[in-house]
């Protein structure tokens, strides 16, 4: 990308003495093994995509990205393969890799998938979660409020995901937790970056939804939990459909928003 500031992620050869920190990941890369070095490049590109620094539709030219990150093309190529598996990058013949476009269908599917995984498990959560576990979730919810006040997008996303994971840890189902983590992961963060974080009302509503979910579980009233989630989910979808009509948001979506 012409005129882009170089973001040096790591040394050209692993094992140099001088550490270099990625501005995105905050990881200092010095004397790292090859696997860690590759993952640092992946993490840097991941953050650039989910934050929309690399916007949807952007061509991902290995040599350009390597120069921008200050690395060789090999870890970039491997990182792009991982990002394609994450659903963030797509490759097409004769064009190469590009950042996947957003779509309202996928945005609404995110909420559907989260609820499809979590709703059937809430009776078990209400039955099994302990007071100590609920108190721990409450502390995360307070940190989430502070992250919102500080406008710390990355920490907010991490804490929102932690609330989900702590609530459902009591099920004892590791694959359920892994699936929830996957659905809430990078794809979901991109939609928050486009539809939520730029708008005070939407960001406040997402915060309130996370806190209300915790408060409802604390009552151990299953009907209240279901009503709370359905109410907030519907309100978030209404706002999302309003936001996509704005030019500054529509540019991230395929033409027509589908």
Select from 200, 204, 113, 235 the least CA-distant residue to 227: 235
Task: Output the pTM of the full model.
Answer: 0.82
- Per-chain mean pLDDT for the chain: 87
DSSP secondary structure code for residue 58 in this structure: -
pLDDT interval class at 255 (50, 70, 90): low
CA distance 241 to 168: 30
Q: Are both 20-99 and 104-250 of the same fold?
A: no
- 89-92/28-29 β-pairing: unpaired
User: Per residue in 139-185, pLDDT tens?
Assistant: 999 999 999 999 999 999 999 999 999 999 999 999 999 999 999 98
CB contact at 8 A, 82 and 52: no
Looking at the domain that runs over 20-99, which CATH code has it been given?
Answer: 1.10.10.10
- Domain limits of the chain? 20-99, 104-250
User: Per residue in 58-78, pLDDT tens?
Assistant: 999 999 998 888 888 988 999
Domain boundaries 104-250, CATH class: mainly alpha
């Amino acid at each position: 990308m012409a005129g882009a500031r170089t973001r040096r992620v790591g040394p050209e050869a692993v094992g140099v003495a001088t550490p270099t920190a990625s501005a995105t990941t905050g990881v200092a890369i010095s004397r790292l093994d090859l696997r860690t070095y590759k993952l640092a490049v992946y993490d840097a590109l991941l953050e650039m995509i989910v934050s929309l620094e690399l916007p949807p539709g952007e061509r991902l030219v290995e040599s350009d990205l390597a120069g921008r990150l200050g690395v060789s093309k090999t870890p970039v190529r491997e990182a792009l393969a991982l990002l394609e598996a994450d659903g963030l990058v797509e490759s097409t013949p004769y064009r190469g890799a590009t950042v996947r476009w957003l779509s309202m269908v996928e945005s609404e599917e995110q909420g559907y998938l989260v609820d499809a995984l979590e709703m059937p498990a809430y009776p078990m959560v209400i039955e099994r979660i302990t007071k100590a576990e609920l108190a721990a979730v409450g502390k995360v919810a307070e940190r989430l409020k502070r992250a919102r006040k500080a406008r710390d997008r990355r920490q907010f996303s991490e804490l929102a995901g932690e609330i989900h994971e702590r609530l459902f840890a009591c099920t004892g189902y590791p694959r359920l937790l892994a699936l929830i983590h996957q659905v809430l992961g990078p794809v979901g963060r991109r939609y928050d970056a486009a539809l939520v974080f730029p708008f005070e009302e939407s960001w406040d509503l997402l915060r309130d939804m996370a806190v209300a979910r915790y408060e409802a579980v604390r009552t151990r009233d299953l009907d209240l939990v279901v009503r709370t989630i359905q109410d907030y989910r519907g309100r978030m979808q209404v706002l999302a459909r309003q936001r996509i009509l704005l030019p500054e948001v529509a540019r991230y979506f395929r033409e027509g928003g589908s």
